[in-house]
């Protein structure tokens, strides 16, 4: 089997060194030791964000990706940087609300009946987290990392080096039903406590702002804290920028197993050979628990499948990203295209495209928009979100192996939280105190 090393390791292993050179190495021992070689498993948005900050800190970085960069959930998502999304999915009333919608066949949620013990345990734990106290605790943790990621995205994208149709226009939540429109006041009051509240927009003003909407809408709330971009462009452009900074990318390179040495990892074995590293970051999205099986690390992350349809812009295209409240789906317009996205399906690891779920996206958009579809359709897509039952990401050192970092479980917000996650991972690897409280994202909470 091939043994691949980073350039520094190759120098030490493959060359016979002159004595003077050895002295020189001896003198620079500390400098050599402080240079970190890091392997990141997973080339999604979380993997790229980790690579970005690590390269900036002077580390050598190699990404191991089983398919191609940005081919997972980071490809066809809705592209929202939803910094106002402070309220966790598991909140009081979520379970009863979804059960009622399931009975009426209007729920965007589908749970495939299964005796899978992991799925049953996850669902039970999710239901138990739907309490007021968890909502308040999780909101505090989410707010910190959302706000942190917002500042980091602002610096990253203001340079205009990464081309991704990025816009800071806010997001409009649109309501069909008057009662739901009024009830949103309470949700907004909660967001206001975090200075993440939206502006209420009455029907007439909303129709003037967004003439693409149908006339029978009740009203909307515009949240200026939310931005949007085109995810596939972000991934392609960021990859290019990081490659120029020295990122090494191994595509079609599945992880086979870890090279375990006591309580640390010496490297990884992959289908392309062995790679050594000082640190390993697991950023394999929904597949992370599968990849960690060898280490007997039980990570409660389930794949939560979502769908999207990408098209050319319709003639009457909305100018803001829209969240269609009663349909639980998103409409994202970009300069270069248009996407409908949503649904949450717990049906294991598969990429089957359900015609029913795709047609639900179309009928959802048809209920709100005069011209819901663009022509031609460019892509029907599904992707797996890495879902934790408490709706908080996992960003921590592995309890079993000191040089293994875990960065996953970002659920519906992986794009939004990418910069904050990448910076935290980088600080931890460089033995620096992260700039925000990372306790809510620790592995300890699952014990
Ligand atoms: C329909 C939909 C809409 C969404 N909308 C939004 C949104 O608007 N805003 C937002 O913030 N989030 C959104 N999300 C969520 C977001 O897409 C995810 O949270 C995010 O992409 C997760 O990124 P990741 O890097 O962890 O995972 P991924 O992008 O899935 O990347 C993981 C990578 O790891 C690779 N991998 C897995 N196993 C191995 C292995 N053994 N060896 C090597 N490589 C491996 C995979 O091939 C994959 O490329 C949406 C998701 C969906 C499905």
**Pairwise CA distance, residues 241 & 161, whole Å:** 8
- Measure the CA dihedral 281/283/284/288, to 10°: 80
pLDDT of residue 91 exceeding 90 = no
Predicted confidence band at 430 (pLDDT cuts at 50, 70, 90)?
very high
Which pLDDT score, from 0 to 100, does residue 355 have?
96
Contact 249, 239 (CB under 8 A): yes
Atom of ligand 1 nearest to the CA of 286: 30
Place of tokens 């819901």: 372
Q: Is the CB of 79 under 6 A from ligand 1?
A: yes
pLDDT digits (tens, 9 = 90+) for 246-298: 999 999 999 999 999 999 999 999 999 999 999 999 999 999 999 999 999 99
CATH number of 84-129+165-227+301-388: 3.30.9.10
Q: What CATH number is given for 3-72+233-299+392-446 in this structure?
A: 3.50.50.60
Pocket probe for ligand 1: among 67, 77, 407, 421, the residue whose CB has the most ligand atoms within 8 Å is 77
The region that residue 332 occupies, defined by phi over 0 for left and psi between -120 and 50 for alpha, beta otherwise, is beta
- Domain segments of the chain: what residues? 3-72+233-299+392-446, 84-129+165-227+301-388
Residue 10 has pLDDT above 60, yes or no: no
Q: What is the pLDDT of residue 393?
A: 98
Q: 10 Å Cβ neighbour count for 195?
A: 10
Q: Which residues contact 80 (CB under 8 A, 6 or more apart)?
A: 171, 226, 227, 228, 321, 330, 332, 415, 416
CA of 407 to the centre of ligand 1 (A): 12
CA gap 99, 258 in Å, rounded:
42
DSSP-derived pairing of the beta strands 109-111 and 219-223: unpaired
Helices marked H in 253-351: 288-291
39, 40, 41, 42, best to mutate for ligand 1 pocket (most atoms within 8 Å of CB): 42
CA distance 113 to 101: 17
**pLDDT given for residue 13 in this prediction:** 35
Compute, in angstroms, the gap from residue 11 CA to the centroid of ligand 1. 36
- Please tell me whether residue 264 adopts helix, strand or coil conformation: strand
What is the token pair recorded at 172?
Answer: 């409009």
Separation between Cα atoms, residue 334 and residue 308, nearest integer Å: 15
Strand positions, DSSP E, 48-129: 60-64, 80-81, 109-111
pLDDT band at 34 (very low <50, low <70, confident <90, very high): confident
The rounded percent of the chain whose pLDDT value lies above 70 is 92
Mean pLDDT of the chain: 91
In this predicted model, what pLDDT tens digit does every residue of 385-410 receive, in sequence order? 999 999 999 999 999 999 999 999 99
Q: Pick the residue with more confidence: 135 or 16?
A: 135
Distance 298 CA to ligand 1 centre (A): 20
pLDDT band for position 98 (cuts 50, 70, 90): confident
Contact between 173 and 198 (Cβ < 8 Å): yes
Ramachandran area for residue 81 (φ above 0: left; ψ -120 to 50: alpha; else beta): beta
Q: Which atom of ligand 1 is nearest to the CA of 416?
A: 11
Alpha helices in 114-227 (DSSP H): 117-128, 132-158, 178-192, 203-209
Going by alpha carbons, the residue nearest to atom 51 of ligand 1 is 77
* CB 219 less than 6 A from any atom of ligand 1: no
* pLDDT given for residue 175 in this prediction: 98
* Tens digit of each residue's pLDDT (9 = 90 or more) over 194-219: 999 999 999 999 999 999 999 999 99
Distance between CA atoms of 168 and 19, rounded to whole angstroms? 59
Residue 76 has which token pair?
């066809």
Check: CB of residue 406 under 8 Å from CB of residue 392: no
Whether the per-residue pLDDT at 89 is higher than 50: the answer is yes
DSSP 369: B
Measured in Å, residue 318 CA sits from the centre of ligand 1 at 26
Contacts of 73 (CB under 8 A, 6+ apart): 44, 285, 286, 306, 383, 384, 385, 386, 414
């Amino acid at each position: 089997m091939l043994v691949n090393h980073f350039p520094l390791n190759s120098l030490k292993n493959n060359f016979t060194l002159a004595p003077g050179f050895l002295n020189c190495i001896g003198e620079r021992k500390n400098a050599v030791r402080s240079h970190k070689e890091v392997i990141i498993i997973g080339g999604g948005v979380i993997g790229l964000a980790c690579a970005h900050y690590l390269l900036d800190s002077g580390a050598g970085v190699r990404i191991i990706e089983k398919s191609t960069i940005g081919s997972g959930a980071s490809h066809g998502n809705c592209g929202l940087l939803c910094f106002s999304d402070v309220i966790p999915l598991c909140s009081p009333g979520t379970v009863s609300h979804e059960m009622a919608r399931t009975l009426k066949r209007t729920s965007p949620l589908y749970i495939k009946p299964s005796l899978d013990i992991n799925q049953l345990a996850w669902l039970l734990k999710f239901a138990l987290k739907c309490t007021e106290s968890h909502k308040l605790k999780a909101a505090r943790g989410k707010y910190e990392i959302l706000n942190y990621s917002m500042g980091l995205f602002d610096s990253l994208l203001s340079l205009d080096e990464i081309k991704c149709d990025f816009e800071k226009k806010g997001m409009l939540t649109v309501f069909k039903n008057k009662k739901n429109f009024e009830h949103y006041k309470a949700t907004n009051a909660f967001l206001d406590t975090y200075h993440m509240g939206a502006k209420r927009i009455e029907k007439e003003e909303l129709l003037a702002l967004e003439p693409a909407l149908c006339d029978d809408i009740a009203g909307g709330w515009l949240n200026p804290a939310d931005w949007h971009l085109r995810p596939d462009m972000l991934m392609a452009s960021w990859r290019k920028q990081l490659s120029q900074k020295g990122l090494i990318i191994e595509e079609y390179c599945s992880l086979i197993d870890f090279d375990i040495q006591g309580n640390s990892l010496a490297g990884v074995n992959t289908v392309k050979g062995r790679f050594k590293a000082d640190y390993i970051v697991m950023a394999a999205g929904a597949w992370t628990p599968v990849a960690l099986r060898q280490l007997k690390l039980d990570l409660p992350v389930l794949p939560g499948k979502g769908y999207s349809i990408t098209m050319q812009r319709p003639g009457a295209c909305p100018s803001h990203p829209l969240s269609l409240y009663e349909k639980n789906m998103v409409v994202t317009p970009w300069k270069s295209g248009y996407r409908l996205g949503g649904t949450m399906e717990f049906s294991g690891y598969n990429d089957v495209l359900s015609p029913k779920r795709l047609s639900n996206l179309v009928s959802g958009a048809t209920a709100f928009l005069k011209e819901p579809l663009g022509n031609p359709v460019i892509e029907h897509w599904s992707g797996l979100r890495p879902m934790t039952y408490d709706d908080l990401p996992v960003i921590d050192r592995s309890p079993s192996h000191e040089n293994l970092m875990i960065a996953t479980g970002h659920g519906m917000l992986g794009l939004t939280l990418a910069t904050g996650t990448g910076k935290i991972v980088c600080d931890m690897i460089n033995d620096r105190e992260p700039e925000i409280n990372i306790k809510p994202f620790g592995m300890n909470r699952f014990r």
